[in-house]
């Protein structure tokens, strides 16, 4: 993915479903969610163990399917183990077809699931962090 492509993605995205959100402020998923929110993105936290609670002013949902349909998701940001990615892609394609971007965080690599998302017309960013990219690109 080129710098121009990353910049384009990060400029167009407005609402992000962040899978693997942690309520603990010292965890990377929480820090990234707070950073993105401070930059003007709406971040919808997703974590089945915290479902129904509120974090960063947003309700936490158990999965993508549970996010109300009136919340349009632009990007699915994944803080989960690589083996969870195929199910996440299937859920994204089934329940959140409007999401244009699948973003897999640092260390989250699953070539087959990424290929499936791309075949469905999704943009895929793998093994990168939007917080790092936004900072690096000076956005």
Domain chopping of the chain, boundaries: 3-136
The region, left, alpha or beta by phi > 0 then psi within -120 to 50, assigned to residue 102 is beta
- Phi and psi for 114 in degrees, rounded to 5? -65, -40
- Give pLDDT, residue 15: 98
For residue 81, the tally of other CB atoms under 10 A from its CB is: 11
Residue 135 confidence (pLDDT):
96
In this predicted structure, what is the pLDDT of residue 19? 98
For residue 41, give the 3-state DSSP assignment: coil
Mean pLDDT by 10 residues, the chain (139 residues): 94 98 96 97 98 97 97 98 97 97 97 98 97 95
d(CA 116, CA 44): 24
Total-model pTM: 0.95
Class of domain 3-136: alpha beta
Instruction: State the pLDDT at residue 1.
Output: 84
Query: Of 32, 27, 26, 33, which is closest to residue 55 (Cα–Cα)?
Result: 33
Task: Please report the pLDDT score of residue 16 as a whole number.
Answer: 98
């Amino acid at each position: 993915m080129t710098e121009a492509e990353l910049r384009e993605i990060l400029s167009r995205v407005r609402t992000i479903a962040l899978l693997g959100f942690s309520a603990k402020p010292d965890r990377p998923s929480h820090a990234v969610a707070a950073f993105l929110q401070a930059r003007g993105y709406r971040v919808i936290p997703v974590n089945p163990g915290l479902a129904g609670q509120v974090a960063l002013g947003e309700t936490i949902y158990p999965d993508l399917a549970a996010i109300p349909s009136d919340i349009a998701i632009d990007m699915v940001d994944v803080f989960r183990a690589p083996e969870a990615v195929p199910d996440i892609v299937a859920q994204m394609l089934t329940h959140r077809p409007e999401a244009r971007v699948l973003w897999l965080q640092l260390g989250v690599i699953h070539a087959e699931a990424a290929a499936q998302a791309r075949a469905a017309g999704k943009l895929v960013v793998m093994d990168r962090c939007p917080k790092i990219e936004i900072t690096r690109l000076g956005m």
